[in-house]
């Protein structure tokens, strides 16, 4: 089977934008996914049958800050979404996002639910209603729990896509992107004081600085760095630092009180510095194709690894040494992610994209029934017009005849 590259794939973007693909972004995404995986498997998971710190004290200490991988995802997302939406109509933006997000997500929901049903060792299986609602990716909006805890970030991403769709609808330009960054920053700052739930939901203040900074970095990359863009990045960096302590409490719980914040703050600084280097072209000559393959594993790996991995740890922890088991599970997750990417994301993504395109075309033209009715009305109008024209001709001839006889 020959697969057609999706519009937001490395090859398609490179062709559409007329610019070299930034393969380093794929590598950075893959590193971010491994950070999250290590945080979950080593720091968060206490199912090794011993104190997690005994697994590897050094690795445990580093993995405590692996949750920063999600912040890196958001930073990259702002950059990539702005890049991929440039010069494209809203319809293309919608179908590319849907085709990118849903195929792997559907598989992940069903696989995770199946594993939790067959082996409810680390968490009880969710109800069928919960699983079905999760397939929409809108479960948080209607108060339904996630089948897997990692899905929380997808709802944040969806909010960003919906907000940025307003820019795409009008047409992505430098001026509109800067205005979007400014307005979203202000919304995030005033959301808390305003005590407005609607504003708070859409401002997503702890995470918006990363999306906004990513957009500013892309504007630097596409055009040139300016004082205005550096000012936007600086403000978002300081706001991101402000939210570090709260994010640590959210991810580490009581451990946050006895954990230094400086590694997390340093991690945010490194992420911003790397994105600045990418924006300024420091990695433009990096053309390692394998980075694209690694990047393609990122999304399914993120979706699949958590509760499936937790279950495997619980099932196998007494049968092999922890380092061996951890290596085996990570390898299995990578192979599974590769299979999902090749067998599901690409073919189903193309099918979904084509289906949405046909639906949009029908929406513009109207349904077959509406088209048939329109043709009937047009035929009726032509017939009525012909009759009226004939009647007018008869009336003319009568008038002309009367005039002659007089």
pLDDT score at 394? 53
Question: Distance of alpha carbon 208 from its chain centroid, rounded?
Answer: 14
Q: How many CB atoms lie within 10 A of CB 240?
A: 25
For the chain, the three-class secondary structure string (H helix, E strand, C coil) is CCCCCCCCCHHHHHHHHCCCCCHHHHHHHHHHHHHHHHHHHHHHCCCCCCCHHHHCHHHHHHHCCCCHHHHHHHHHHHHHHHHHHCCCCHHHHHHHHHHHHHHHHHHHHHHHHHHHHHCCCCCCCCCHHHHHHHCCCCHHHHCCCCCCHHHHHHHHHHHHHHHHHHHHHHCCCHHHHHHHHHHHHHHHHHHHHHCCHHHHHHHCCCCHHHHHHHHHHHHHHHCCCCHHHHHHHHHHHHHHHHCHHHHHHHHHHHHHHHCCCHHHHHHHHHHHHHHHHHHCCCCCCCCCCHHHHHHHHHHHHHHHHHHHHHHHHHHHCCCCCHHHHHHHHHHHHHHHHHHHHHHHHHHHHHHHHHHHHHHHHHHHHCCHHHHHHHHHHHHHHHHHHHHHHHHHHHHHHHHHHHHHHC
pLDDT score at 44? 75
pTM score over 0.75:
yes
Q: What string of pLDDT tens digits covers the 406 residues of the chain?
A: 333 444 444 444 454 445 678 999 999 999 999 999 999 998 876 556 555 555 677 788 889 999 999 999 999 999 999 999 999 999 999 999 999 999 999 999 999 999 999 999 888 878 999 999 999 999 999 999 999 999 999 999 999 999 999 999 999 999 999 999 999 999 999 988 887 888 889 999 999 999 999 999 999 999 999 999 999 999 999 999 999 999 999 999 888 898 999 999 999 999 999 999 999 999 999 999 999 999 999 999 999 999 999 999 988 888 888 888 889 999 999 999 999 999 999 999 999 999 998 888 888 777 566 666 656 666 665 655 555 555 656 555 555 554 433 3
pLDDT score at 9? 47
pLDDT score at 18? 53
The CA distance from 185 to 205, in Å, is: 8
Domain map (residue ranges) of the chain: 10-365, 378-406
pLDDT score at 383? 59
Q: In this predicted model, what pLDDT tens digit does every residue of 162-220 receive, in sequence order?
A: 999 999 999 999 999 999 999 999 999 998 888 788 888 999 999 999 999 999 999 99
């Amino acid at each position: 089977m020959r697969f057609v590259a999706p519009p937001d794939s490395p090859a398609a973007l490179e062709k559409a934008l007329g610019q070299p693909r930034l393969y380093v972004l794929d590598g950075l995404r893959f590193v971010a996914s491994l950070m999250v995986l290590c945080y979950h498997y080593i720091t968060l998971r206490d199912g090794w049958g011993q104190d997690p710190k005994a697994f590897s004290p050094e690795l445990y200490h580093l993995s405590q800050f692996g949750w920063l991988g999600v912040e890196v995802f958001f930073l990259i997302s702002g950059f990539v979404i702005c890049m991929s939406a440039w010069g494209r109509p809203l319809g293309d933006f919608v179908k590319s996002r849907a085709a990118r997000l849903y195929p792997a997500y559907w598989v992940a929901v069903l696989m995770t639910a199946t594993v939790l049903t067959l082996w409810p060792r680390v968490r009880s299986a969710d109800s069928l209603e919960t699983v079905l609602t999760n397939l929409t990716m809108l479960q948080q909006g209607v108060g339904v729990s996630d089948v897997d805890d990692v899905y929380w970030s997808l709802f944040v991403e969806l909010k960003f896509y919906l907000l940025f769709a307003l820019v795409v609808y009008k047409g992505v330009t430098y001026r509109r992107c800067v205005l979007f960054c400014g307005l979203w920053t202000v919304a995030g700052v005033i959301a808390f004081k305003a005590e407005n739930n609607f504003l708070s939901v859409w401002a997503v203040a702890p995470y918006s600085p990363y999306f906004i900074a990513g957009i500013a970095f892309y504007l630097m990359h596409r055009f040139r760095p300016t004082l205005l863009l550096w000012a936007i990045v600086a403000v978002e960096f300081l706001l991101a630092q402000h939210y570090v302590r709260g994010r640590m409490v959210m991810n580490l719980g009581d451990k946050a009180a006895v954990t230094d914040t400086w590694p997390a703050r340093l991690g945010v600084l490194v992420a911003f510095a790397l994105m600045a280097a990418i924006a300024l072209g420091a990695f433009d000559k990096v053309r390692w194709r394998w980075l694209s393959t690694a990047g393609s594993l990122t999304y399914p790996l993120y979706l699949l690894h958590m509760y499936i991995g937790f279950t495997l740890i619980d099932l196998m922890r007494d049968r092999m040494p922890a380092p061996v088991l951890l290596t085996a599970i990570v390898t299995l997750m990578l192979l599974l992610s590769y299979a999902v990417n090749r067998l599901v994301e690409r073919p189903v993504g193309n099918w979904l994209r084509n289906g949405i395109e046909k639906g949009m075309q029908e929406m513009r033209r109207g349904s077959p029934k509406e088209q048939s009715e329109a043709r009937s009305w047009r035929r009726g109008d032509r017939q009525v017009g012909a009759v009226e024209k004939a009647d007018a001709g008869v009336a003319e001839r009568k008038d002309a005849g009367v005039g002659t006889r007089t």
